[in-house]
Amino acid sequence: MNRRKIIKTAALAGAAVGLSACKKSPQDNAACESGQSQPVIEWKMVTTWPKNFPGLGTGAEFLAKKINQMSGGRLQVKVYGANELVPAFEVFDAVSSGTAQMGHGAAYYWKGKVPEAQFFGAVPFGMNANEMNAWLYHGGGLELWQETYQPFGLKPMPAGQTGVQMGGWFNKEINSIEDIKGLVMRIPGLAGDVLARSGGTPQVLPGAELFTALQTGTIDATEWVGPYNDLAFGLHQAAQFYYYPGWHEPTACLEAMVNQAAFDALPEDLQVVVEMATMAANQNMLSEYMANNQRALDTLQKEHQVKMKAFPQDVLETFKHHAQAVMLELSQSSELAGRIHQSYFDFAAKTQSWLSVSEMAYLQAR
């Protein structure tokens, strides 16, 4: 469908809904009476998360609600949880094809289709949320992400950050790299490749399947997010040991993707609403995790006697060694991947220098 036709279709569809929206408020009535009623555009947002799941699912709901409010009801986004409209891992295709106008997920889920997308989800031993946002908004990262999704008719935006995650839930203690050998662990994206090179067997499963897989022994270990989310899934009832730090996800950058044709068909002010609401959602999620993680960790430790363990140094060093090789290999997979790798690590080197005399120095000093 060409752009003109989409605009016409959206306007016609909206006009009918617009009439019924005429009695909502005095302002609406005034606009209706003067014949200035704006069409209402209805979008579907498909997500990779269970409906209203803390942080991730609620982040998608927050975004939809803000778009609805900031647009004065002219752009109404309805959120669908995983499997409500499409399965979790079909979100990318559903938005690309226009089945839904918007999607909410994480870029590393699409590694089989778009290897370069992994730079925008989570990079093992990579940048944290603060650095990631700086790179995306002010370091050329977002432009590279847009270039990556452009062939699929998608416009990506960061739509939430988890902050540093936890290393995951293990049914056995990890005392050295030998204990990683043969370990079957749910761990997606680049970190999965790192685990494989370290002797483990990575699995990719949607969040909703983790508890059962861990409890039945289909997997020996799983990472998910952090205390706030892991407590909600009850993962402490399926495994004994809770490891840190989350070397594999120094933040997960969640994404909102918009069907480019649907975005282009919006009036300019609504395009800005979508972009700004997404930016607000990006910050709001990070704050939500920061506020809730320690609270949930207290519950896990005090009420459920969860055993906290730090990964041994040799395990972290082996992971880091393989992570560098995995990233280098990814950078050689395409010309675009090479440019993203260069941009990402040049930027990370700069923020590392700055952080050493700012955040890191301050955290040690206070």
Which stretches of the chain bind Ca ion, using CB under 5 A? 223, 249
Q: Choose between 81 and 246: whose C-beta lies nearer to Ca ion.
A: 246
Given the structure tokens 């790798």, which residue do they identify?
Answer: 341
Q: Choose between 10 and 297: whose C-beta lies nearer to Ca ion.
A: 297
Q: What is the DSSP string of 266-317?
A: S-HHHHHHHHHHHHHHHHHHHHHHHHHHHHHHHHHHHTT-PEEEEPPHHHHH
Give the single-character DSSP code of 114: -
Classified as helix, coil or strand, 53 is coil
Q: Choose between 14 and 227: whose C-beta lies nearer to Ca ion.
A: 227
Burial of residue 254 (number of CB atoms within 10 Å: 0-12, 13-18, 19+): buried
Please, what is the minimum distance in Å from the beta carbon of residue 178 to Ca ion?
24
Please, what is the minimum distance in Å from the beta carbon of residue 242 to Ca ion?
14
Q: Residue 80: CB partners within 8 Å, gap ≥ 6?
A: 44, 45, 46, 47, 51, 86, 100
Q: Choose between 229 and 282: whose C-beta lies nearer to Ca ion.
A: 229
Q: Choose between 136 and 253: whose C-beta lies nearer to Ca ion.
A: 253
Please, what is the minimum distance in Å from the beta carbon of residue 323 to Ca ion?
15
As given in the structure block, the two tokens for residue 52 are 């209203």
Q: Choose between 43 and 169: whose C-beta lies nearer to Ca ion.
A: 169
CA distances in angstroms from 242 to 204, 245, 284, listed in the order given: 19, 10, 26
Please, what is the minimum distance in Å from the beta carbon of residue 2 to Ca ion?
40
Q: Choose between 61 and 223: whose C-beta lies nearer to Ca ion.
A: 223
Give the torsion sign (CA, 208, 210, 213, 219). Answer: positive
Please, what is the minimum distance in Å from the beta carbon of residue 235 to Ca ion?
12
Q: Choose between 116 and 249: whose C-beta lies nearer to Ca ion.
A: 249
Q: Which residues of 317-353 are buried (b: 16+ CB within 10 A; e: fewer)?
A: ebbeebbeebbeebbeeeebbeebbebbbebbeebee
Please, what is the minimum distance in Å from the beta carbon of residue 72 to Ca ion?
36
Please, what is the minimum distance in Å from the beta carbon of residue 205 to Ca ion?
11
Please, what is the minimum distance in Å from the beta carbon of residue 56 to Ca ion?
10
Which residues pair with residue 155 across a beta bridge? Answer: 258
CA angle, residues 321, 105, 291, in degrees to nearest 5: 80
As given in the structure block, the two tokens for residue 200 are 């483990």
